[in-house]
Amino acid sequence: MRKMRDFEFWFVTGSQHLYGPETLEQVAADSAKIAEGLNSSGIMPCRIVLKDIVKTPAEITKLFKDADYDEKCAGVITWMHTFSPSKMWINGLKDFKKPYLHFHTQFNREIPWNEIDMDFMNLNQSAHGDREHGFIGARLRMPRKIVVGYWEDAEPQKKIADWMRSAVGVAVSREFKMVRFGDNMRQVAVTEGDKVEAEIKLGWDVEYRGIGDLVAYMDKVTESDIDAKINEYLEKYDMDTDNTEAVRYQAKTEIGLERMFADYGYSAFTTNFEDLWGMEQLPGLAAQDLMSKGFGFGGEGDWKVAAMTAIMKAMAEGLDGGTAFMEDYTYHMPAGNEHVLGAHMLEVCPSVASNRPKIQVHELGIGNKKAPARLVFDSKKGSAIVASLVDMGGRLRLIVNDVEACNPLNPMPKLPVAGVMWKPLPSLAVSAESWILAGGAHHTVLSYDITAEMMHDWAKMMDIEFVHIGKDTTIEALEKELFWNDIAYKLK
Ligand code: MN
């Protein structure tokens, strides 16, 4: 999977020949200042590349064709300094497949009261040039992001930076490849889904391999390979067990997985504790350490959550909040202080840890395999989201809930796994009722770095349904939204 540094965004200013060469020179110079200003803000995850201003239908059509074919270009940002008649944009925009942001800004912050004349007015007419541009996006029913604000201000800059992360999420999704070892857990419904639909809509190549293929890779791992991996662990984690054999087995598993992923280009994987033929332990520490390096993981064959974990991690690259495969596990339900305790059997990513993780070995209790080594730690506090992608039959639905994560309310000395505690918004009662109404899974991706708005932008660009549960959610409105969405998608 490519990284942030592999992508760039094109900045394009629209105009026309009506104003004469002097004005166009000024438009080009001002555009360069805006592109440079955005790049030097320090918050853009990728570089913005200034393109020549476009003034004719032929220039516009060529620009969007080039953008579509350019490997590095992850999206186009447009702005109208002057008026740029939007019929000129139809052929360029109508076949454009990449993310598109319309930045509605203006070069000057304030009206120059004493100097303003009609020349100034004709040069600085974003207020109506961008409305003409906006109409054609609406008319073409394009998925687009509109950011409004002065280009030197932090708020619009942050919105552009966040959208870039969503757009990189689109790019990596469209070239995403993963492996599922074994099938989904027997009789579980929500982890299933239409992989053909997922590949058409999201670009995912979800491949099956028998667990024996991994065992063959593991058999080639040497004792010195394992020694090196253990040293890697000791730099990041505390050894809190005498069972070195169990830890070494996880190291061997991780090396096998890494080599196999490198050979096939996989960025995520699933396991199923029912299908571990030839393996001694369910991957625990191995899965956790791989997730901390950006790989996606899903338990019980849940390939949708595995893929979403990898993609959301790619979107969050360079941020330090953390993104993890998660599961709503158990509740704390005193009235007025309700919390969710999220965890998994083993596989919680240490990127969300608030303390240095400990390597421990405990019995698993299911799957009839040896006691697996795993990382145990407490979670961070902070605003976060949980996200779940489900297959509604005929369409994919992405559900996102805003949550406030906290440190554990009390120590849990007997809990042998890492956990995260949070309060879902607007309340546990409304959140859980909404989540269940929408069909959200027990498996989610929890992220402190990605916001609901970023996932909404990603879902729009991927052309899938998006449901947001947040501070303003009411059951009445949500039920109507789900009902209307059902009708809308039947008509689509
Ligand atoms: Mn699970």
- Which DSSP category does 379 fall into? B
Same domain, 193 and 129: no
Question: Which of the listed residues 154, 173, 192 is the one where a domain comes to its end?
Answer: 173
CA of 327 to the centre of ligand 1 (A): 6
Same domain, 470 and 358: yes
CA of 191 to the centre of ligand 1 (A): 9
CA of 272 to the centre of ligand 1 (A): 9
CA of 355 to the centre of ligand 1 (A): 24
Question: Which of the listed residues 123, 157, 173 is the one where a domain comes to its end?
Answer: 173
Same domain, 129 and 195: no
| Range(s) of the domain holding residue 125 | 4-173
Sheet with 238-239, strands from edge to edge, namely: 238-239, 358-361, 373-376
Same domain, 169 and 183: no
Q: What torsion, rounded to 10 degrees, do the Cα atoms 201, 197, 470, 162 define? A: -20
CA atoms 268, 273, 275, 281: torsion sign: positive
Say how far apart CA 288 and CA 373 lie, in whole Å.
Answer: 10
Residue written as token pair 């600085």? 124
CA of 262 to the centre of ligand 1 (A): 26
Model confidence pLDDT, tens digit, residues 413-431: 999 999 999 999 999 999 9
Model confidence pLDDT, tens digit, residues 264-321: 999 999 999 999 999 999 999 999 999 999 999 999 999 999 999 999 999 999 999 9
Same domain, 213 and 167: no
CA of 447 to the centre of ligand 1 (A): 17
Percent of the chain with pLDDT over 70: 100
Same domain, 135 and 212: no
Query: With contact defined as beta carbons under 8 Å apart, do 367 and 277 qualify?
Result: no
Q: Is the pLDDT of residue 367 over 80?
A: no
- pLDDT for 319: 97
Say how far apart CA 171 and CA 445 lie, in whole Å.
Answer: 19
Same domain, 111 and 220: no
SS3 at position 331: strand
Question: Which of the listed residues 173, 190, 221 is the one where a domain comes to its end?
Answer: 173
CA of 250 to the centre of ligand 1 (A): 19
CA of 387 to the centre of ligand 1 (A): 15
CA of 298 to the centre of ligand 1 (A): 8
Q: DSSP readout, 440-487?
A: --SEEEEESS--HHHHHHHHHHHT-EEEEE-TT--HHHHHHHHHHHHH
CA of 442 to the centre of ligand 1 (A): 7
CA of 399 to the centre of ligand 1 (A): 18
CA of 354 to the centre of ligand 1 (A): 23
- pLDDT for 41: 97
Same domain, 157 and 196: no
Same domain, 94 and 231: no
Query: Which of 140, 137, 80 is closest to 104 using CA atoms?
Result: 80
What's the chain's average pLDDT?
97
CA of 4 to the centre of ligand 1 (A): 30
pTM for this entry: 0.97
